[in-house]
């Protein structure tokens, strides 16, 4: 667990604790993701989906396959970051995908993001991951400066994506034949 202190507007110090997320953090985490996805134009703000995704991630974290870290200040979740393990055939080892890096907008620029990333790096090292990677919006200059300070280097890769049909909408070959027979 990491901890750092922060000077508040009324000049007393407020401590920020960086710790693994708990299921009870869910509402605060969803709120932070809504802030993040409203900046990133590639994504939509869908709170129920984000809550479902977070539950899946927290389940993976319980099995040691992911880590969700939060920054807590005065009992409130004010920052978060996640990492999930994938296998890298390039590295011949496990590596980590970082996502969901966000700090509450009124508390940015005060070291919280750096502490969250330090916690992810520590977890990655402890779990023997060969490298960490992430995607960021090329127009997000502040985020690019943030990652540059943390020695993340840009690559020539671009992200492509394709939606998978939902299970309920899928009609397998057998059902399609049955459906055609019924229609005759």
Strand pairing category for 132-134 and 93-103 = parallel
Nearest to 115 by CA among 66, 68, 71, 58: 71
Neighbouring CB atoms inside 10 A of 135's CB total 13
Of the residues 112, 124, 129, 132, which one makes contact with ligand COA according to CB under 6 A: 112
Q: Closer to ligand COA by CB, 114 or 133: give it.
A: 114
Of the residues 66, 103, 120, 124, which one makes contact with ligand COA according to CB under 6 A: 103
Of the residues 102, 120, 124, 129, which one makes contact with ligand COA according to CB under 6 A: 102
Query: How far from 135 is each of 30, 91, 98, 99, CA to CA, in Å?
Result: 20, 19, 8, 8
Site string for ligand COA, 27-46 (x = CB under 6 A): ---------x--x-------
Which stretch of DSSP H or E encloses residue 173?
helix 173-183
Structure tokens at 2: 């990491």
Q: Closer to ligand COA by CB, 125 or 149: give it.
A: 149
Shortest distance in whole angstroms from residue 98 CB to ligand COA: 8
Structure tokens at 117: 């990333």
Q: Closer to ligand COA by CB, 58 or 98: give it.
A: 98
User: Which positions touch ligand COA (CB under 6 A)?
Assistant: 36, 39, 101-103, 108-114, 136, 140, 142-143, 145-146, 149
């Amino acid at each position: 667990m990491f901890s750092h202190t922060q000077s508040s507007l009324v000049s007393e110090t407020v401590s920020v604790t960086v710790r693994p997320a708990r299921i009870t953090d869910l509402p605060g985490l969803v709120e932070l993701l809504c802030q993040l996805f409203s900046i990133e134009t590639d994504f939509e703000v869908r709170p129920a989906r984000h809550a479902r995704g977070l539950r899946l991630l927290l389940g993976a974290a319980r099995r040691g396959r992911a880590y969700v870290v939060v920054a807590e200040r005065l009992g409130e979740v004010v920052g978060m970051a996640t990492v999930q393990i994938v296998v890298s055939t390039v590295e011949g080892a496990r590596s980590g995908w970082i996502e969901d890096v966000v700090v509450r907008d009124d508390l940015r620029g005060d070291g919280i993001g750096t502490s969250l990333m330090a916690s992810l790096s520590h977890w990655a090292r402890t779990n023997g991951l060969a490298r960490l990677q992430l995607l960021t919006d090329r127009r997000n200059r502040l985020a690019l400066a943030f990652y540059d300070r943390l020695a993340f280097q840009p690559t020539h890769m671009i992200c492509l994506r394709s939606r998978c049909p939902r299970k309920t909408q899928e009609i397998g070959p057998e059902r399609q034949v049955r459906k055609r027979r019924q229609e005759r």
